[in-house]
Amino acid sequence: QVHLVESGGGLVQPGGSLRLSCTASGFIFSLYHMGWYRQTPGMQREPVATIDINGDPNYADSVKGRSVISRDNDKNTVNLQMNNLEPDDTAVYYCSATSILPGQQGPNYWGQGTQVTVSA
């Protein structure tokens, strides 16, 4: 089966940093765009950062300059380094995988989510 296993969430103070990691299995990792989304209660799940199969990243405006997404195709992992965290970054963060096939609309697979809480 397909698995996206996330780790790295937790409680940090404003201005702190976290590194989220996602380890994928059960599909051809190099043929999928990867990403991180986040969701808070009552809100839509929104993209935070994505990285395509060529390694080109895109970031939401809210995290530009504070976050770096990376992938390692040899290890089937995608990471999100988040720095200078703010209380508004508090959310459940989800790892995603999206097929490069032309008919695909939205992520094919999701991780279980990892909680990030930014609070003093």
pLDDT at residue 105, rounded to an integer: 86
Q: What is the pLDDT of residues 43-52, one digit of tens each?
A: 999 999 999 9
Q: Give CA–CA dist 44/6, Å, rounded.
A: 20
The answer to whether residues 31 and 99 touch, using CB atoms and an 8 Å cutoff, is yes
What three-state secondary structure class fits 105? coil
3-state secondary structure of 87: helix
Question: Residue 46: what pLDDT?
Answer: 96
The structure tokens listed for 92 are 């459940």
Please give the pLDDT value at position 68. 98
Low-confidence ranges of the chain (pLDDT < 50): none
HEC string of 16-49? CCEEEEEEEECCCHHHEEEEEEEECCCCCCEEEE
